[in-house]
Structure 1
Amino acid sequence: MKINEANLVSQSAIATALALTAVSAPAYAQDNASGEGTETDPHDRGTIIVSADALSELDFIAGQDVIEVEEIQRDLTGQLGDLLVKVPGVSATSFSPGSSRPILRGLDGERVRVLIDGLGTADVGNTSADHATSIDPLTVERVEVLRGPAALLYGSQAIGGVVNVIDRRMPVAMPEHGLHIEGLTAFDTASELRSGGLSVDAGIGENLVVHFDGSYRETDDLEIPGFQLSEDLRLDLLADADEEEDEGELEEAEELREAAEQRGFVPNSATETWTVNGGIGLIVGESTFGASVGYYDTSYGLVGNPEGGHHHGEEGEVEEEEGEEEETVSIGLEQLRVDLRGDITLGDGLFSRLKLRGGYSDYTHIEFEGTEVGTVFDTETIEARAELVQTTGGVIGAQFTSRDFSAVGEEAFVPPNETTQFALFTVQEFDLDGFQIEAAGRFEQVDVESGPLGLERDFSLFSGALSLVRETEGGARFGITGSRAERAPAGEELFADGPHIATQAFEIGDPNLDKESALGVELFARAGIGAAQFGASVYYQSFDDFIYLSPTGEEEDELPVFEFLQDDADFFGFEADLVVPLIDNDSYNLTADLRASYVSADLDNGGNVPRIPPVSVLAALESDFSAFTVRSEVQWFGEQNNVAEFETPTDDFAFVNLFLSWRPLSDNQNVVVQLAGENLFDTTGRRHSSFTKEFLPLAGRNIKASVRFSF
């Protein structure tokens, strides 16, 4: 009988990890009884206020999480998706160490809006899993994950939710003592990480602040516990090697066997990233104005599927010279971004504030084959939004986005296209007979045009949501949200037709795709049970004309063919979290933290939506004593057997993690030193939501060290 290593770990890991914490020290408890988040409480599951270019006056009442700076330091990775995987309901695409976007409730890509201080990232990370998100977590102050009616503030692409990243590019307050310096440096063993980031705010006079930040991050090839390839893929390659050998192709057979036996590290998975940003902030009474310029540059390898090939040239041309090895694929990406911001106090009339945001982005990324340029992607984006915040609680606003996309090269699989969006939106909050009500509405006009194809599509989108909440005298909150949302297909979904070198797939769009719509309902509860805090959500979404990328089982130019298809789909899932103070006295505190997520997604044709994350559970103990905090975790990911056609199942696995934080300045949080051991049992894990799971496992045992300072 086959023994699954992950099963063995999952049976013993929780007891082992919790024992480590109990032995090391008693602990730190997070006091959430009041429902108020504090600076030392990164796991607060109470009321979250989205504060950057959103409604800081409104109490968003369903489905919000905030990841604060200390938690960012603890779970620091190079890409936003991998940073957020411990948040209930969040997974990641994990296409490569250099490219990973968040997945919310099984939805990703064009259904998850990723923002920087309220405006889109203006990259092309939402169009394909191999494209990086142009955010370096090293200089991030806070990350907010938003669901519910308020997500409609940010566009039809927020049908699954919003991830809003807060940085300090445009200061909104004068630094204390006229100068503020913050830095973070980190190292690890699994990728030989070398990284550092620095942020400086300097006051000039009484109301002007100048900001600068920069970061650098470099990693080598990722170290893994065992074989790079999944067992089934290894067996396929070894069988192919035997066939090649029987046909006298000895060199080809040897290459296949070498690929099948690759273990210990993942070739071509190294990354290098650097950023530099500058900005100014003007504070005039209670009004603020700001401007910033930022540059992001990254290069990273894309791990190749040894079973697949790359398209080189037209049909009939020789694919490879005899004895020539296939070129590795990598991406070089750069983005120049300019942002403007205004937050103007209007007084005590109908509207209390006017909030203005504008941004321009010039984005380029190149897909290389070896050192040769394959395809060049250029995207120029302009986005602007205005919000009037009502004195009585609510907001009305307008948003405009223009995106000009082009791809040049033999393997440019998407023709040039332009997308223009204009939207009007509102979110209102009020009380009625003991109930708290939050309502949102959005109208959006989307035009997508491809000049070379002579095609143009126009979409009128209407979305709305309503939340009804009841709060008990004890502070418990119970509610229900109903929503209807519509999304227009993206240019890539409409017009793709060709080989995509980075994903090693031949992608085919459909210019006749209809708009996608979803009806949803969610039940949620947030309550204090004694000193414990509990939160849970159960949700259901029914999609009409759900758009998804699906393998056909066919090949074109020696590449597997993937088509953008439409079908009705149903999503059902739940999220839950529980924080329980076990010990709370003057010497130490001990807190238990439990989180769980589940989602299923079925197509109307009887199949499953591809790449849906499995059930996951995180169990942790956290202890705080004197200047130290110790946290032990077990992350368990269940097996996924509910797979789409031509998709393979994924085994369950568990990771055991241990973290130690030291504040050498006693109770002062200005300096935090962290040591961490992740995946201590060196377990092989593959993320089911990843296109590359068969040939890119997650990192093996990883020892991390980091230092954060703030003065």
Structure 2
Amino acid sequence: MIRRPLATLLAGTALSCLPAAPLLAQEQDEGAVPHVHDPHDEEDVIVVTAGGLERLDMLAGTSVVTDAQLQRNMAGQVGEVLESLPGVSATGFAPGASRPVLRGFQGERVRVLVDGIGSIDASNTSADHAVTIDPLTAESIEVLRGPAVLLYGSSAIGGAVNVIDRRIPHRIPIDGLRFDGVVSGDTATDLREVGASLDVGLGRNFAWHVDGSFRETDDLEIAGFTLSDELRADLLADAAEEFEEGHEEEADELIEAANLSGIVPNSASETLSLGTGLTWFSGLNSIGVSVSYYDTDYGIPIAPGMGHAHGEEEEDHDEEEHEEEEGHDHGEEPVTIGLEQFRADLRGEFHLGEGFFHDLVTRWGYSDYTHTEFEGDEVGTVFDVEGVEGRVELIQSEQNLGGGTTLRGSLGGQFFYRDFVATGAEAFVPPNSTEQYALFTLQEVRAGPFEAEMGARWENTTQEADTIAVSRSFDTFSGALGLSYSFDSGIRAGVNFSRAERAPSAEELFADGPHIATSQYELGDPDLGTEAAWGVEGYVRASIGGADMRLAVYRNWFDNFIYLFDTGLEEDGLALTQYLQQDADWFGVEGEASVPLFSTGNGVLVGDVGGSYIRATLDDGSPVPRIPPLSLTGALEWQGEKLDLRSEVEWYDAQDRTAPNETATDGFAHVNLSANFRPFGDERLSVLLQADNIFDAEGRRHASYTKDFVPLAGRNFKVSVRTRF
């Protein structure tokens, strides 16, 4: 728990250089917030970008998922919602726990934000921990990639995901009232989902918001065998040994486990989310607060036949080796996680006049998080996280430098504090605290079609673990320079250069113990140094004749890259993994295009293509673990006044470029169909019918720790009804 008075914590002013600027109740300033028009909406959909993106456009790759695409991709975890975007995958540890993977980066190198502030949970510490954000409450989700994202914090070397949820109202509803509701179901998980939100204008100066959602699923239905071919072969070989030694019952159990198909046991989930908020508006000023509650219970799948002994002795067998053998404990209880978070947030924007600084923007969040890992009905390990994050930003007025050249920018600071306590026999990280202060600046110079953007960040991070008497302090410096040119034809080309530094996390420093949910013994290194990355990225973006295109090529060179290595050894019957450091090299290409093929008076046929390729290598020549393979997506979509029809193919190459003790992953393709019907020709009512993976193809996500026993869903039929008025 946080041991310092909250007032002391809030005294640390802070700023991440890309804040989420609130919308004003009145008409917004030109360029302050971009409008994205949906042809099916009667009014513009206002997308709140992470502040600074529209002012300082350093990001070569930014994707915004809204409305129809959100409804089509909706899932219980934000990683699953976004995984079909170019350059994005998901950890997919379990249906109830899946975090985004951006450009092959995951964990500490990807920040997950709520309206510009961190989720302040434990999802970054381990892949089995759920993200405490319900995508059903999202108005839009931004995927931010590229060098400038490092200004969200040094941990965002890989990128950031920003979820806009409207819990702090951004504006007073136009007609004084707005209601959104959704009901969904599917066949692969027997999904039952319902959610609703209400925004109410209270006079001319206040807006109130309330929302709630409930989601329940059964075990995931899959195509083919639950285990990968390699794990099945191992189990069948073990079964043959058991049979030769006269243990026919054990052999039969192993054969049954190897042949399990059609389902992922212990993968069900149940989630409840509630939130309310109030904002006061006065001219160009606003301040709002919100409180929310998130509660989820979900199963952690374990490889069938592999057991989960955690170093305990097994049932007595006739021979001594069976007493010590850890792989055949068939009496293990299922592992489940019960998680809840209480959260409070504040956002304010204050107009300072027409001087050098014209706006002050502040954003704060507080979280009280508890996460319990159960073995059957017994409590195994309890994680308690309490934290505060905040920032303050001063927005500069645009300065005319003469000759048609202008300067604009912002500066400020950020503060973060987290207190982490894990209790129980299998607490793999000692109690620890993290305290972080940062200063940043972000500037843009524009001269006609030329733009130059510059950003810099200093960050001080202190990690303390009192029970083992270890304290580490790190000063990191990061910077970025972007140059771009806009052509009259609608094409923009640019190059970004960056250097980012990241302090090791508490888990990377202090871990030393068995982790029940991941079946690993994790070992940190308190002597780890800072991780640094040089980066260069070239990009082209175009919007010509209704067609949109984005292509980015990037390269990163890491000094002292921190990674979790599977040693191939065992400790207490678990796979021994250890955090190590060495240099690494990253190369990637990603792109997407949307082209109108032909149109009639009733609609337009659009072709979409996208893809990404990543190659990451450690200094010793071995591949970085869990790097997604080459992927390509192609789709045709008919966009009509009342009906949209979409056919889509998602293709993933095999990944046989693997790290030591990492298994290869077969390639696969999923074919998906969807129809979205709007009987009134607008968003007052929409009915979405989907058929995903219609050929019931087996697929496994290489970025997942559990890919060898948690495949992707098989054939899935889904219906979703959404209303808005």
TM-score in terms of structure 1 length: 0.92
Change in CA separation of 1:394 and 1:472 when aligned onto 2, cut-off 3 Å: same
**Aligned equivalent of 2:666, options 651, 662, 665:** 651
Distance 2:204 2:643 in 1: 38
CA distance in 2, matches of 1:530, 1:139: 34
8 Å Cα contact 1:537-1:576 kept in structure 2 = yes
Q: Name the structure 1 match of 2:564.
A: 549
The answer to whether the Cα contact below 8 Å between 1:309 and 1:559 also exists between their aligned partners in 2 is no
* Of 609, 612, 620, the match for 1:594: 609
Q: Aligned match of 1:282 in 280, 302, 311?
A: 280
Aligned residue runs from structure 1 range 493-508, under 5 A = 493-508=508-523
Is 1:63 aligned with 2:61? yes
2:502 is matched with: 487
Distance 2:269 2:47 in 1: 34
1:377 and 2:409 are equivalent in the alignment: no
Distance across 2 between alignment mates of 1:503 and 1:197? 31
Check whether the contact 2:478–2:499 (CA below 8 A) recurs between aligned residues: yes
**Structure 1 unmatched ranges of 5 or more:** 1-35, 43-47
Equivalence for 2:297 = 299
Amino acid at match of 1:696: V
Query: Matched residue of 1:493: which SS?
Result: helix
1:446 and 2:444 correspond? no
User: Which letter does structure 1 place at the counterpart of 2:493?
Assistant: F
User: Structure 1 residue aligned with 2:642, among 613, 617, 627?
Assistant: 627
Q: Do residues 701 (structure 1) and 715 (structure 2) align?
A: yes
Aligned to 1:171: 169
**Counterpart among 671, 685, 689 of residue 675 in structure 1:** 689
2:467 match: secondary structure? coil
Q: Which residue of 1 aligns with 2:623?
A: 608
Structure 1 pair 328/316, CA: closer, same or farther in 2 (3 Å)? closer
2:152 maps to 154
Judge which range, 699-708 or 152-161, deviates more.
152-161
Determine helix, strand or coil for the equivalent of 1:601.
Answer: strand
For residues 148 and 395 of structure 1, do their structure 2 counterparts lie closer, same or farther at Cα, with a shift above 3 Å needed?
farther
Deviation sequence 1:321-356 (CA, Å, 0-9, x none): 999721111110000001111111112111111111
Distance 1:609 1:626 in 2: 47
1 CA distance for matches of 2:288 and 2:546?
Answer: 42
Q: Does 2:188 align with 1:182?
A: no
In 2, Cα distance between equivalents of 1:324 and 1:662: 49
Partner in structure 1 of residue 31 of structure 2: none
Corresponding residue of 1:117: 115
* Alignment size in residue pairs: 670
Which of these residues, 340, 344, 355, is aligned with residue 338 of structure 1?
344
CA change 1:149–1:599 in 2 (3 A) is closer
Aligned residue type for 2:434 = T
Aligned-partner Cα distance in 2 for 1:323–1:613: 32
Q: What residue number does 2:485 align with? A: 470
The match for 1:82 is 80
Instruction: Name the residue aligned to 1:388.
Output: 394
2:700: which partner in 1?
Answer: 686
Deviation at 1:230, TM superposition (A): 0.7
- SS class of match (1:110): helix
CA distance in 1, matches of 2:39, 2:511: 46
Query: Is the Cα contact below 8 Å between 2:36 and 2:47 reproduced in 1?
Result: no
CA drift of 1:204 comes to 1.5
Of residues 384-393 and 430-439 in structure 1, the stretch that sits farther from structure 2 once superposed is 430-439
Secondary structure at the aligned position of 1:177 is classed as coil
Deviation at 1:224, TM superposition (A): 0.5
Closer, same or farther in 2 for the Cα pair 1:315/1:237, shift >3 Å? Answer: closer
1:636 aligns with 2:651: yes
Deviations 1:674-699 (A, max 9, x none): 00000000000000111101111100
Partners of 2:607 and 2:96 lie apart in 1 by 33
| Contact 1:52 1:166 (8 Å CA) reproduced | no
Matched, 1:126 2:132: no
1:79 touches 1:100 (CA, 8 Å); kept in 2? yes
- 1:324–1:587 distance in 2 versus 1, CA, 3 Å: closer
Residue 569 of structure 1 pairs with residue 592 of structure 2: no
Equivalent positions of 1:190-229 (< 5 A) are 190-229=188-227
Please give the per-residue CA displacement for 1:176-197, whole angstroms capped at 9, x wherever unaligned: 2221111111110000000011
Which stretch shows the higher mean deviation, 345-354 or 413-422?
345-354
Query: 2:134 aligns to what?
Result: 136
Q: Distance in 2 between matches of 1:92 and 1:541?
A: 21
Distance 1:629 1:200, change over 3 A: same
Q: Sort the Cα spacing of 1:511 and 1:314 in 2 relative to 1 into closer, same or farther, 3 A.
A: farther
Q: Aligned AA for 2:462?
A: D
On the 8 A contact 1:481/1:522 being kept in 2, the answer is yes
CA distance in 2, matches of 1:65, 1:313: 45
Q: Distance in 1 between matches of 2:595 and 2:314?
A: 66
Residue of structure 1 equivalent to 2:529: 514
Give, in whole Å, the separation in 2 of the partners of 1:299 and 1:168.
25
CA distance in 2, matches of 1:330, 1:98: 10
Q: CA deviation at 1:53?
A: 4.8
The separation in 2 between residues aligned to 1:426 and 1:525, in whole angstroms, is 26
Partner in structure 2 of residue 347 of structure 1: 353
8 Å contact kept, 2:301–2:710: yes
Aligned pair partner of 2:598 in 556, 561, 583: 583
Deviations 1:7-57 (A, max 9, x none): xxxxxxxxxxxxxxxxxxxxxxxxxxxxx8733279xxxxx9862455554
Separation (CA, whole Å) in 2 of partners of 1:38 and 1:272: 34
Native 8 Å contact 1:55 1:395 kept in 2: no
The one-letter amino acid of 1:366's match is T
Superposed CA offset, 1:374-412 (max 9, x none): 000011101110011111221101000000001000000
The superposition leaves residues 227-264 of structure 1 with CA deviations (integer Å, 9 ceiling, x where unpaired) of 10111211111111121122222322222111111111
Give the letter for the 2:564 counterpart.
L
Give the letter for the 2:271 counterpart. Answer: T
Q: Distance in 2 between matches of 1:593 and 1:153?
A: 31
Secondary structure (helix, strand or coil) at the match of 1:364 reads strand
- Tell me if structure 2 keeps the 8 A contact 1:361–1:381: yes
Once residues 35 and 366 of structure 2 are traced to their aligned partners in structure 1, the CA distance between those partners, rounded to angstroms, is 34
Deviations 1:295-323 (A, max 9, x none): 00001001102354424466899889999
Q: Does 1:238 align with 2:236?
A: yes
TM-aligned CA distance change 1:49 to 1:444, over 3 Å: farther
Does the Cα contact within 8 Å between 2:551 and 2:592 map onto a contact in 1? yes
SS, match of residue 452 in structure 1 = helix
Q: Please tell me the root mean square deviation across aligned C-alpha atoms, in Å.
A: 2.0
- Name the CA distance, whole Å, in 1 between partners of 2:182 and 2:669: 29
Is the contact between residue 149 and residue 440 of structure 1 (CA under 8 Å) also seen in structure 2? no
Shift in CA distance, 233/323, structure 1 to aligned 2, threshold 3 Å: closer
How far off is 1:151 after superposition? 1.5
Identical pairs, percent = 54
In structure 2, how many angstroms separate the alpha carbons of the residues matched to 1:694 and 1:403? 34
Distance across 2 between alignment mates of 1:86 and 1:226: 22
